C-alpha cells in the first residue's frame, strides 16, 4: 500500500470544508483592510531563497535540479517572490501597495506538533511606507484575521519586538555586521535553548563577558514598558551618537503604540524583546502571535503568525529600494487553535432537496426536475442507480436533505409532484412546472405537518 510522504496532508471533503472556512475568514479580513490578492509561482530559482531568507529556512528547502539543469526550490515562503514582483513594477505601482495571498509553502523540517512539510500561509504585506503607521496597519489586519474567528485578547497575544533596538544594543556593545547577525541568531533561539548551551554559543563572540551579555539580554527580554526599555538602553549607550539613535527609535515606538491604542488594539499587544525572528531580512519592528494559556499562564505552542518590517529586501534583489512590512499566518496552528476553542462551525454539506422517482417510468421527468432545481440554485441530489422507491426514500433521509420531491406515477400523470418536508413530515402537492419555486418557498418556511 502506498502511503503519503511524511509531513504532508490529504484533505478529505470535511478537511477541505474546514480549510475553506479558515481561508474565507482570512480573505474577508484582508479585503476589509484594503488588501488585494496576488499570486506567485510554486517553483522558484534556488538562489532567491539561499541569498535572502537566512540559514534557518534554507536548511529546510525542497530543492532539486530540473531537466534544464536549473537549480530550483519549492517555495518555503512567499516573501522573496513577492519582493521581486513588487520590485519589478515599483515605479508604476500606486503606493502604498497592500497585497495579500493564501498559498501552500514547503519546508523540509522535522514534522512535529504544529509544524509540517507543507502548510498554507496567509500573507499580508505593505510596500512603500517607511513609518510606523504601516506597521500598525499591518498588525491591525493580522489581529483582525484572528478576531474574525471570534477569538479575543484572552485567547491570544501579539508579542512585539524590534530588530533595530536589538541592533542598537549590539552596536552599543561594539558588535556590528555579520557578527551582529550571528549573535541575533543565538538570541532568537534563547527561549528554546538551555542557558548553558546559549553561553557556549556566545563564547566566540564575547569571551569572558558572555555572562554579562546574557544578563543584559535577559533584562531586555523581561521589560514590558517602553519607558523602562528606554532607560535600560540609555544606560548602555557609550556615546551621544548612539544615545541619539536610541531616542529616535523610542520615538518610533511611541508612534506605533499610539496608533495601536487609537485602533483599540492595546489589549492584544505585549512589548516583548524575546522575539527576534529567524529570517534574515527583517530590519525593524517584528512580531509573533501566540496562543495564551488559560488564566494568563503564558504562551503555548508554536507561533500562529509572524512578521515584521523588511526595508532592504526589494533593494537587495536589484530593484529600487522600497520599504516593506508583512506577516505570514499558518493554517496548521490556526486549525488546531480553532478546534480547541470550538470555533469551527459545523460542516453542512447536505443537499437541500432529494428527488425521488416512483418508478423507472418517472425517471426521465425526475432527471429533468433535478436539472431545473439545480439551475434555480437549489442543492439537489438523487440516486444515480434508481433503486426502488423505499430505498430512495431512505437515501433521501440519510443524505440530510430538508425536502424530498417525489415524482409519483399518478401525480405526474396529473402534471404534479409532491414536496415532503423531511423534518416535519408535512407535504404538499404542486404543479411540476412550479416545483423549483415551491421548493424554494418550502426551504424558506418549511411545510407544516397535517
Ligand atoms: P514564518 O514565521 O516562517 O514567517 O511563518 C509564518 C507562520 O507560518 C508561522 O507563524 C506558522 O504559523 C506558519 N508556519 C511556518 N512554518 C510552518 C510549518 N513548517 N508548518 C506549519 N506552519 C508553519 C514567514 O514565512 C515570513 N515570510 C512571513 C512574512 C511575510 N514576513 C514578511 N511578510
CA–CA separation, 438 vs 431, rounded Å? 9
pLDDT at 334 over 80: yes
- Kindly state if the Cβ of 307 falls inside 6 Å of ligand 1: yes
State if residue 399 touches ligand 1 by the CB under 6 angstroms criterion: no
Q: How confident is residue 340, by pLDDT bands cut at 50, 70 and 90? A: very high
CA dihedral sign, ordered 437, 439, 443, 449: positive
For ligand 1, say whether the CB of 351 is within 6 Å of any of its atoms.
Answer: no
Q: What are phi and psi of 377, to 5 degrees?
A: 85, 15
Ligand 1 contact, 101 CB (< 6 A): no
Q: Is the Cβ atom of 116 under 6 angstroms away from ligand 1?
A: yes
370 backbone dihedrals φ, ψ, rounded to 5°: -55, -45
CA of 281 to the centre of ligand 1 (A): 14
β pairing state of 380-382 and 269-271: unpaired
The per-residue pLDDT for range 374-425, each reduced to its tens digit, is 999 999 999 998 788 999 999 999 999 999 999 999 999 999 999 999 999 9
User: Contact, 72 vs 46, CB < 8 A?
Assistant: yes
pLDDT mean over 75-85: 97
Tell the residue number behind the cell numbers 509544524, with chain if given: 115
Strands 353-357 and 403-407: parallel
Whose Cα sits closest to atom 6 in ligand 1?
Answer: 328
Q: What are phi and psi of 122, to 5 degrees?
A: -85, 130
Residues 175 and 173: their CA atoms lie apart, in Å, by: 6
> CA geometry: angle at 283 spanning 277 and 284, to 5°?
85
* Banded model confidence at residue 55, pLDDT cuts 50, 70, 90: confident
CA gyration radius for the chain? 29
pTM of the entire structure?
Answer: 0.93
Nearest to 160 by CA among 273, 27, 324: 273
C-alpha cell at 224: 514590558
Is the CB of 80 inside a 6 Å radius of any atom of ligand 1? no
pLDDT at 192: 83
Q: Give the pLDDT band (50/70/90) at residue 278.
A: confident
> What is the distance in A from the centroid of ligand 1 to the CA of 332?
10
Q: Closest Cα to atom 18, ligand 1: which residue?
A: 115
79 within ligand 1 shell (Cβ under 6 A): yes
Q: Whose CA is nearest to atom 21 of ligand 1?
A: 115
Q: Whose CA is nearest to atom 32 of ligand 1?
A: 326
353-444 CATH fold: Rossmann fold (3.40.50)
- What CATH number is given for 13-340 in this structure? 3.30.930.10
- Residue of 101, 121, 124 best suited for mutating to test ligand 1, as the one with most atoms within 8 Å of CB: 121
**Structure confidence at residue 155 (pLDDT):** 95
pLDDT bin (cut points 50, 70, 90) of residue 348 is confident
The angle subtended at Cα 158 by Cα 156 and Cα 164, nearest 5°, is 165
pLDDT of 163 strictly over 80: yes
Dist. CA 173–CA 155, nearest whole Å: 38
Domain boundaries, the chain: 13-340, 353-444
Ligand 1 pocket: which of 309, 328, 334, 338 to mutate (most atoms within 8 A of CB):
328
- What SS3 class is residue 201? helix
**Closest ligand 1 atom number to CA of residue 78:** 27
| Residue 289 burial by Cβ neighbours in a 10 Å radius (0-12, 13-18, 19+) | buried
Å from CA of 76 to ligand 1 middle: 9
Cell of 73: 526550490
pLDDT tens-digit readout, 171-225: 998 888 888 888 988 988 888 899 999 999 999 999 999 999 999 999 999 999 9
Short-list 311, 257, 280, CA closest to 127: 311
3 state SS of 339: helix
For 217-252, the pLDDT digits (tens) are 999 999 999 999 999 999 988 899 999 999 999 999
Amino acid at each position: 500500500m502506498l502511503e503519503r510522504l511524511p509531513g504532508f496532508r490529504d484533505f478529505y471533503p470535511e478537511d477541505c470544508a474546514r480549510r475553506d472556512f479558515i481561508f474565507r475568514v482570512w480573505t474577508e479580513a484582508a479585503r476589509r483592510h484594503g488588501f488585494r490578492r496576488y499570486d506567485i509561482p510554486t517553483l522558484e530559482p534556488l538562489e532567491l531563497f539561499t541569498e535572502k531568507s537566512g540559514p534557518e529556512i534554507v536548511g529546510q528547502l525542497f530543492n532539486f535540479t530540473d531537466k534544464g539543469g536549473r537549480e530550483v526550490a519549492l517555495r518555503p515562503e512567499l516573501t522573496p517572490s513577492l519582493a521581486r514582483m513588487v520590485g519589478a513594477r515599483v515605479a508604476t505601482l500606486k503606493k502604498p501597495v497592500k497585497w495579500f495571498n493564501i498559498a501552500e509553502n514547503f519546508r523540509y523540517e522535522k514534522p512535529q506538533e504544529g509544524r509540517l512539510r507543507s502548510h498554507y500561509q496567509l500573507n499580508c504585506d505593505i510596500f512603500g511606507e517607511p513609518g510606523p503607521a504601516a506597521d500598525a496597519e499591518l498588525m491591525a489586519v493580522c489581529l483582525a484575521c484572528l478576531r474574525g474567528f471570534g477569538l479575543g485578547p484572552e485567547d491570544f497575544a501579539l508579542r512585539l519586538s524590534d530588530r533595530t533596538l536589538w541592533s542598537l544594543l549590539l552596536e552599543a556593545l561594539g558588535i556590528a555586521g555579520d557578527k551582529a547577525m550571528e549573535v541575533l541568531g543565538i538570541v532568537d533561539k534563547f527561549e528554546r535553548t538551555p542557558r548553558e548551551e546559549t553561553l557556549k554559543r556566545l563564547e566566540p563572540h564575547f569571551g569572558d563577558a558572555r555572562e554579562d551579555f546574557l544578563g543584559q539580554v535577559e533584562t531586555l527580554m523581561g521589560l514590558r514598558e517602553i519607558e523602562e526599555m528606554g532607560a535600560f538602553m540609555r544606560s548602555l549607550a557609550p556615546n551621544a551618537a548612539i544615545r541619539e539613535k536610541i531616542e529616535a527609535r523610542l520615538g518610533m515606538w511611541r508612534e506605533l503604540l499610539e496608533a495601536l491604542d487609537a485602533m483599540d488594539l492595546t489589549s492584544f499587544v505585549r512589548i516583548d524583546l524575546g522575539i527576534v525572528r529567524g529570517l534574515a531580512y527583517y530590519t525593524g519592528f517584528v512580531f509573533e502571535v501566540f496562543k495564551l494559556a488559560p488564566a494568563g499562564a503564558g504562551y503555548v505552542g508554536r507561533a500562529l503568525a509572524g512578521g515584521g518590517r523588511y526595508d532592504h529586501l526589494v533593494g537587495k534583489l536589484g530593484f529600487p529600494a522600497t520599504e516593506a512590512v508583512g506577516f505570514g499566518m499558518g493554517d496548521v496552528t490556526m486549525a488546531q487553535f480553532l478546534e480547541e476553542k470550538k470555533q469551527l462551525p459545523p460542516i453542512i454539506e447536505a443537499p437541500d432537496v432529494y428527488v425521488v422517482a416512483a418508478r423507472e417510468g418517472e425517471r426521465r421527468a425526475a432527471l429533468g426536475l433535478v436539472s431545473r432545481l439545480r439551475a434555480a440554485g437549489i442543492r439537489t441530489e438523487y440516486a444515480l442507480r434508481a433503486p426502488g422507491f423505499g430505498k430512495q426514500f431512505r437515501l433521501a433521509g440519510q443524505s440530510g436533505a430538508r425536502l424530498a420531491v417525489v415524482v409519483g406515477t399518478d401525480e405526474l400523470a396529473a402534471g404534479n409532484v409532491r414536496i415532503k418536508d423531511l423534518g416535519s413530515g408535512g407535504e404538499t402537492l404542486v404543479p411540476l412546472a412550479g416545483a423549483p419555486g415551491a421548493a424554494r418557498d418550502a426551504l424558506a418556511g418549511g411545510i407544516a405537518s397535517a
